[in-house]
Structure 1
Amino acid sequence: MQLKELTTIEEMLTQIETIHFLYPKMTIEKYKEYLSLMLPHNYKQLAVFENDVCVGITGFWKGVKLWSGPYLEIDNFVVHPEYRKKGIGKLMTDYIDAKAKELGSTMIVLDAYVENFTAHKFYYNQGFVPRGYHFLKIINPEQLSS
């Protein structure tokens, strides 16, 4: 397995098939638009390849909040269905752990849908714990990816 940081829109766009496992209706146009808004805010992706096939991908970005100081956020953690339970997710979280330490982050944060119990179990096993609730108020449902 090869891990690679993706830092350009072009590199990220070529992995849209893997993104489709999480967001099947994501168009290339919408993906490109959102990436162009995210990249100026420290957004990168980590991709895992077996040969030339992307078998896992996650976004991540560094931020700062008053309560936590600098943190690293995992965004859209996806493992190809045929490669689940084969250590791909662990490879990615280990890489993100090392990246967070390298960047001087105080913590790693992420969101997981409340009904995604498989993800909850995985994240607990990786040392993550719930800290609070992530509240949202949907203003424009047409723009949602899921």
Structure 2
Amino acid sequence: MTALKIKRLFKEDINIFLPLVHELMGNTIENELLIKRFESMFEQNYECQGIFIERTLVGVFGLWFATRHYCGKTCEPDHVYIIPEYRRKGLGKDVFEWIFDYAREKGCETSELNSYVQNYPSHKFYLNEGYEIWAHHFLKKL
């Protein structure tokens, strides 16, 4: 496979990466609402990264940065998505190696993430990448 390139994407690039986020989420959120949420996210401690092979966008992920009392400065990968035809080729491993190196450069001590309960392939992948299951993530709509 041709060399992987990870490139930071900005609010102005939303129309480039939003279709991949919709694929990940199964189009469960209206486009206008998702755009508003991403615009707000870009104003917080959030970065969006595109995964490119040559000039083709083959994936996307976000990174959240925070300091937490139990683990120190942390980097949280979010909405990690690689289009199906590029999966199972080692790309995910390369992406997470890049994430860990980038997080260390930014002074992070840890990385934590959430994974959908039914996404068993991602659980296996994250465990193989050294993540440990520490908690359950709870959500309450207000």
TM-score, structure 1 normalization: 0.86
Instruction: After TM superposition, list the pairs within 5 Å mapping 1:10-89 onto structure 2.
Output: 10-25=12-27, 26-89=29-92
1:103 corresponds to 2:106: yes
Structure 1: where are the runs of 5+ without partners?
140-146
SS of the aligned residue for 1:104 comes to: coil
The one of 114, 122, 137 aligned to 2:125 = 122
Matching residue of 2:141? 138
Q: Give the Cα separation in 1 of the matches to 2:43 and 2:19.
A: 23
Structure 1 residue 91 corresponds to structure 2 residue 86 = no
Q: Show structure 2 runs of 5+ residues with no match.
A: none
Count of residue correspondences: 138
Amino acid at match of 2:38: L
CA RMSD of aligned residues (A): 1.5
* Residue equivalent to 1:143: none
For residues 64-122 of structure 1, what are the alpha-carbon distances to aligned partners after superposition, in whole Å with 9 as ceiling and x for unaligned?
Answer: 11222211111111010111101221121111101111111110010001111100001
Q: Which of 11, 18, 24 does residue 9 from structure 1 map onto?
A: 11
- Deviating beyond 4 angstroms after TM superposition, the runs of 4 or more aligned structure 1 residues are none
CA contact (8 A) 1:62 1:70 kept: yes
Aligned residue number for residue 142 of structure 1: none
Identity of aligned residues (%): 31
CA distance in 1, matches of 2:18, 2:138: 28
Question: Residue type of the partner of 1:12?
Answer: I
